[in-house]
């Protein structure tokens, strides 16, 4: 009987800790809206750095698909929006179009799986470990990111 009670107590503790972890993750995203139908919400939590002003985050969205030797890209438009009442930024990719490519002839064996980027110009955003980066994209789109860093030197511009 004692073993059963301690097993039940351990199970109850485990479930309550699991519920707390889920609740705190949900609470951290409470200011941001849920994803609209047909969209997914992606969250990036950045590690704290000593000097975050020297870093930027590049948001990359796209799909892995079969391509040939041509250059492939998908349309799309990035928008920065603000959570009403909070002032927090979030990013949305919409108007994602079908893939387009250059139309050069390719060898028969050139087909492969590759990530095809959407969204036109890269979306560079401020590095800020204090808040999550929240991105909304169509559900069939994958979101990736890359960290950029500035070199230690700045160069003077010429006056003319």
Confirm whether 156 is domain-assigned: no
Give me the residues paired with residue 37 across strands: none
Q: Are residues 6 and 85 in the same domain?
A: no
- Which is it for the CA torsion 38, 95, 143, 28, positive or negative? negative
Tell me the per-residue pLDDT of 118-132, one tens digit each, with 9 for 90 and over. Answer: 988 889 999 999 999
Residue 143 neighbours by CB distance under 10 Å: 20
pLDDT at position 121 is: 82
Largest CA distance in the chain: 89
What is the model's pTM?
0.78
| Rounded distance between C-alpha atoms, residue 33 and residue 38, angstroms | 14
**Domain count within the chain:** 2
DSSP class of residue 101? E
- Find the CATH number of the domain harbouring 80: 2.60.40.550
| Rounded distance between C-alpha atoms, residue 24 and residue 120, angstroms | 35
What is the residue-averaged pLDDT of the chain? 86
Q: Are residues 54 and 8 in the same domain?
A: no
pLDDT at position 12 is: 45
């Amino acid at each position: 009987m004692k073993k059963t009670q301690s097993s039940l107590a351990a199970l109850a503790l485990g479930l309550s800790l699991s519920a707390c972890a889920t609740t705190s993750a949900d609470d951290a995203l409470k200011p941001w809206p849920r994803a609209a139908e047909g969209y997914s919400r992606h969250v990036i939590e950045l590690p704290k750095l000593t000097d975050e002003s020297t870093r930027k985050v590049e948001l990359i969205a796209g799909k892995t698909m079969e391509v040939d030797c041509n250059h492939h890209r998908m349309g799309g438009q990035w928008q920065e929006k603000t959570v009403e009442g909070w002032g927090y930024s979030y990013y949305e990719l919409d108007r994602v179009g079908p893939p387009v490519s250059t139309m050069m002839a390719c060898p028969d064996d050139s087909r492969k799986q590759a990530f095809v980027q959407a969204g036109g110009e890269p979306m560079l955003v401020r590095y800020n470990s204090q808040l999550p980066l929240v991105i909304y994209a169509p559900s069939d789109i994958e979101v990736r990111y890359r960290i950029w860093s500035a070199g230690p030197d700045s160069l003077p511009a010429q006056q003319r």
